[in-house]
A and B are shown apart, each in its own frame.
Chain A
Amino acid sequence: MTAETATEKPTTHSVRAQRKAKARISEGKRQERKLGWLLCAPAAFVMIAVTAYPILYSVWLSFQRFDLKFPDQREFIGLGNYATVLTNEYWWTAFGITTLITVVTVAVELVLGMALAWIMFRTLVGRGLVRTAALIPYGIVTVVAAFSWKFAWTPDTGYLGNLFGEGAPLTERASSLAIIMLAEIWKTTPFMALLLMAGLALVPEDLLKAASMDGATGWQRFTKVMLPVMKPAILVALLFRTLDAFRVFDNIYVLTGGANNTSSVSMLAYNNLIRGLNLGIGSTMSVLIFIAVAIIAFIFVKLFGTAAPGSDEGGRR
């Protein structure tokens, strides 16, 4: 940020020619910015204290053989834990399951969320009621919802158990995964819709009217006018949900407990770290999950370029 202000002066003209948005920063504005930084400083400090320290500590743990059950056998083993985890079948199965759940749920949620956002945005009668009703699934505690799904899908106790003939859907891998994804989608589509609705509000009415004057069909107005204007909102929604979905835990924990190979990477890390008390292996998994999440965020920002949150233009106006 400081580098930017320094280089700006000599090339004001060319910059202005290229990007109208970037005006020269006045003295007052600079002061304002400094004050802004000062005001965030305490929050930033606390954030670092409560996030950076645990992250670094788990990285440190991941380089050790350290099992709480055998406290005397603690030793530094470098990347040994990483070799163990990355050559392990359970890890890659869980990784595949997690990726599958992430891709499917986020894709479906984007489509459904868009529809729901449109409904919430366009409703004329009982707008408050419609919006509240749509948000109810997101307001229910995930574990509670997961339990009701579990009972619903269990024959004898539930109304969905015998939907597809005999047998118990939660005892087979494919149907279990489908139910997990269904529960995830049911739960977080409202969240997606909420973020997308904020994007819908950005689309100027005149633009849509002008487009229809020019003879654009409904679909064309949607793809050529609305989507481009909504792009930043869509990105935020996708990014949040992808990162969230990749860490899926509670639904799986309640619905199957990881049976029939339905564990996600978070489940696996929990089993090793909290149940198994293996701080070395468990921390290695946590670090790997952290890296995966960081890569996802990086890809989003790179792939969608300037419109992504955190990049220059999107972040600051």
Chain B
Amino acid sequence: MAERSRGPGRRRIAALAAVALLAPSAAACGSDDGGVPVINVYYSTEQSFQKLVDECNQQAQGRYRMVYQVLPRAADEQRVQMVRRLAAQDSGMDVLGLDVTWTAEFASAKWIREWTGQNKEEASRGTLEQPLASATYEDKLYAAPKNTNTQLLWYRTDLVPNPPKTWDEMIKMSQDLKSQGKPYEIDTMGAQYEGLVVLYNNMVASSGGKILNDDGTKAEFDQGAVDALGTLQKFASAGVTNPSFTNTQEDAARLQFQGGSGAFQLNYPFVWPALQEGAPDLKDKVKWARYPGIDANTPSKVTIGGFNLAVSAYSKHPDEAFQAALCLRSPEHQLFSAVNDGVPPTIESLYDDPQLDEAYPFKADILAQIKDGANRPVTPAYQNLSTVLSATLSPPADIRPEQDADALRGSIQDALESKGVLP
């Protein structure tokens, strides 16, 4: 095999091979042009986000230049892309658009920087309490809330004169409609993914229950959480869901309702503009109300969604990155996003702005729900928790409250400690 005379040739080949292997990674490193630091913003798809970026770049007057890197649409894919690169200490990401549930995880893994001093003050000024809590981990601020979100109850006024206040009421109404042969479905997300966890969390919070203890270190699963399992099971087996319920995500739920088979829909406000465009015959028959609760006399507590902006620990230009993030979530820009992209702002005073009236006729209900809202459990292991929960809850019709709660106490504790296998 080893022949001396062919040594140089082989070495050349090896060198070529090495070059070929290294070349792509060399080309992938971005370069800063002309001394202006380039800030790469990784954010999910939002239609008018590019305009925000352009405007902030103008306002920056050469202090930085932001580049909008579009993340995939699905939350899981967004997280996977960022996490994979952060784990490899990729310095090509500066500002990260984090779903509210990821803050603890990213902070605990030391992937994002703490917000301090002037930046912290600016990020929290006038910001609603619950969204701010979603950006906080161990009493430190790790991100600036950019937009919040919450689901409302959308219902057909021609079928339902008065919106239901509780799940029981809504299920009853739906069954009555069904027996009259009218559209009756309650369309919402029931696939085995985060959406199902949100549905369950709404029920847990509304019945005053807890999944984890306050520190997020132990699986609690109190009576409220067990009752919520019962409510979810009852809803799923009452014959009021769409046949595809257990495979339905946000957009599919919207389509089911828009298709005319639903009397109720529990979904985010993005369904409103889509309804205006996609179903002209329905748009005047649909109204909104507060998400149903468990008890008629206690207002529901509904899960808060939305996005926070964080600065990567591996960013080469952290100061500019903080500035850029603050610009993207400044009051005027939040208002712009609310009007153009329909995402609810995190700054309370913006809800009084008349500009919101047309795009957001339901703004008062949103604000009320957010002020009263329920964050999902805060723990670095949230993704594990969510995976275990959604797997156990799916399909919801087969839930056995007592047994499942027992099993979940064990498997969630394992998940929190990153022991055991995720389904």
CA–CA, A258 and B261, complex, Å: 27
CA–CA, A152 and B394, complex, Å: 23
- Please tell me if A263 contacts chain B, counting CB pairs below 8 Å: yes
Given A154-B244, A167-B243, A258 and B1 contact (CB-CB distance below 8 Å): no
The answer to whether A70 and B108 touch across the interface, beta carbons within 8 angstroms, is yes
- Please tell me if A96 contacts chain B, counting CB pairs below 8 Å: no
Given A38-B1, A42-B14, A281-B421, A168 and B244 contact (CB-CB distance below 8 Å): yes
B108-127 vs A, Cβ < 8 Å mask (1 yes, 0 no): 11100000000000000000
The answer to whether A91 and B421 touch across the interface, beta carbons within 8 angstroms, is yes
Interface window among A5-13, A193-201, A235-243, A271-279: A271-279
- Please tell me if A68 contacts chain B, counting CB pairs below 8 Å: yes
The answer to whether B192 and A258 touch across the interface, beta carbons within 8 angstroms, is yes
- Please tell me if A28 contacts chain B, counting CB pairs below 8 Å: no
Within residues 178 to 201 of chain B, which ones have a CB less than 8 A from any CB in chain A? 191-193
- Please tell me if A156 contacts chain B, counting CB pairs below 8 Å: yes
Q: What residues of chain B lie closer than 8 Å to A38, measured between beta carbons?
A: 1, 3, 6
CA–CA, A46 and B22, complex, Å: 12
CB distance from B410 to the nearest CB of A (A): 12
Within residues 20 to 62 of chain B, which ones have a CB less than 8 A from any CB in chain A? 21
CA–CA, A50 and B422, complex, Å: 29
- Please tell me if B84 contacts chain A, counting CB pairs below 8 Å: yes
Interface window among B156-164, B327-335, B380-388: B380-388
- Please tell me if A14 contacts chain B, counting CB pairs below 8 Å: no
The answer to whether A68 and B87 touch across the interface, beta carbons within 8 angstroms, is yes
The answer to whether A90 and B87 touch across the interface, beta carbons within 8 angstroms, is no
Q: What residues of chain A lie closer than 8 Å to B10, measured between beta carbons?
A: 41-42
CB distance from B23 to the nearest CB of A (A): 14
Within residues 79 to 133 of chain A, which ones have a CB less than 8 A from any CB in chain B? 84-85, 88, 90-91
CB distance from A91 to the nearest CB of B (A): 6
B372-405 vs A, Cβ < 8 Å mask (1 yes, 0 no): 0000000011011001000000110000000000
- Please tell me if B90 contacts chain A, counting CB pairs below 8 Å: no
CB distance from A169 to the nearest CB of B (A): 9
Contact of A170 among B80, B247, B387 (CB under 8 A): B247
- Please tell me if B172 contacts chain A, counting CB pairs below 8 Å: no
- Please tell me if B423 contacts chain A, counting CB pairs below 8 Å: yes
- Which of B261, B394, B395, B418 has most chain A Cβ within 10 Å? B418
Given A154-B244, A171-B245, A49 and B421 contact (CB-CB distance below 8 Å): no
Within residues 163 to 180 of chain A, which ones have a CB less than 8 A from any CB in chain B? 166-168, 170-171
Looking across the interface, which residue of chain A has its beta carbon closest to that of B261?
A156
Looking across the interface, which residue of chain B has its beta carbon closest to that of A255?
B247
CB distance from B125 to the nearest CB of A (A): 31
CA–CA, A156 and B183, complex, Å: 14
Contact of A69 among B109, B191, B256, B419 (CB under 8 A): B109
CB distance from B52 to the nearest CB of A (A): 30
Q: What residues of chain B lie closer than 8 Å to A50, measured between beta carbons?
A: 21
Within residues 80 to 108 of chain B, which ones have a CB less than 8 A from any CB in chain A? 80, 83-84, 87, 105, 108
The answer to whether B422 and A272 touch across the interface, beta carbons within 8 angstroms, is yes
The answer to whether A70 and B418 touch across the interface, beta carbons within 8 angstroms, is yes
- Please tell me if A256 contacts chain B, counting CB pairs below 8 Å: yes
A193-233 vs B, Cβ < 8 Å mask (1 yes, 0 no): 00000000000000000000000000000000000000000
The answer to whether A45 and B14 touch across the interface, beta carbons within 8 angstroms, is yes
Given A258-B423, A260-B394, A274-B84, A170 and B108 contact (CB-CB distance below 8 Å): no
CA–CA, A171 and B261, complex, Å: 19
CA–CA, A68 and B80, complex, Å: 12
The answer to whether A271 and B387 touch across the interface, beta carbons within 8 angstroms, is yes
- Please tell me if B282 contacts chain A, counting CB pairs below 8 Å: no
- Please tell me if A157 contacts chain B, counting CB pairs below 8 Å: yes
CB distance from B14 to the nearest CB of A (A): 7
CA–CA, A263 and B391, complex, Å: 11
The answer to whether B394 and A259 touch across the interface, beta carbons within 8 angstroms, is yes
Looking across the interface, which residue of chain B has its beta carbon closest to that of A279?
B87
CA–CA, A249 and B419, complex, Å: 24
A244-256 vs B, Cβ < 8 Å mask (1 yes, 0 no): 0000000000001
- Please tell me if B280 contacts chain A, counting CB pairs below 8 Å: no
The answer to whether B395 and A69 touch across the interface, beta carbons within 8 angstroms, is no
Chain A: number of interface residues, binned into ranges: 35 or more
The answer to whether B83 and A278 touch across the interface, beta carbons within 8 angstroms, is no
CB distance from A92 to the nearest CB of B (A): 10
Contact of A275 among B252, B261, B380, B387 (CB under 8 A): B387
Contact of B21 among A34, A49, A67, A263 (CB under 8 A): A49
CB distance from B274 to the nearest CB of A (A): 15
- Please tell me if A309 contacts chain B, counting CB pairs below 8 Å: no
- Please tell me if A137 contacts chain B, counting CB pairs below 8 Å: no
- Which of B83, B105, B243, B380 has most chain A Cβ within 10 Å? B243
Within residues 249 to 274 of chain B, which ones have a CB less than 8 A from any CB in chain A? 252, 255-256, 259, 261
The answer to whether B418 and A67 touch across the interface, beta carbons within 8 angstroms, is yes
Looking across the interface, which residue of chain A has its beta carbon closest to that of B109?
A69
- Which of B1, B383, B384 has most chain A Cβ within 10 Å? B384
CA–CA, A276 and B419, complex, Å: 11
CA–CA, A268 and B14, complex, Å: 38
Contact of A155 among B14, B17, B244, B423 (CB under 8 A): B244
CB distance from B232 to the nearest CB of A (A): 16
Q: What residues of chain A lie closer than 8 Å to B110, measured between beta carbons?
A: 71
Q: What residues of chain A lie closer than 8 Å to B80, measured between beta carbons?
A: 274-275
Q: What residues of chain B lie closer than 8 Å to A154, measured between beta carbons?
A: 244, 247, 252
List 9 A-B pairs, minimum CB-CB distance, nearest first. Answer: A259-B192, A67-B418, A168-B244, A171-B246, A88-B421, A168-B243, A276-B422, A42-B13, A90-B423
Chain B interface (Cβ < 8 Å from any Cβ of A): 1, 3, 6, 10, 13-14, 17, 21, 76, 79-80, 83-84, 87, 105, 108-110, 191-193, 243-247, 252, 255-256, 259, 261, 380-381, 383-384, 387, 394-395, 418-423
Chain A interface (Cβ < 8 Å from any Cβ of B): 34, 37-38, 41-42, 45-46, 49-50, 67-71, 73, 84-85, 88, 90-91, 154-157, 166-168, 170-171, 256-260, 263, 268, 271-272, 274-278, 281
Apart from A156-B256, A171-B246, A278-B418, list 5 A-B contacts with CB within 8 A.
A38-B6, A69-B109, A70-B418, A257-B191, A277-B109
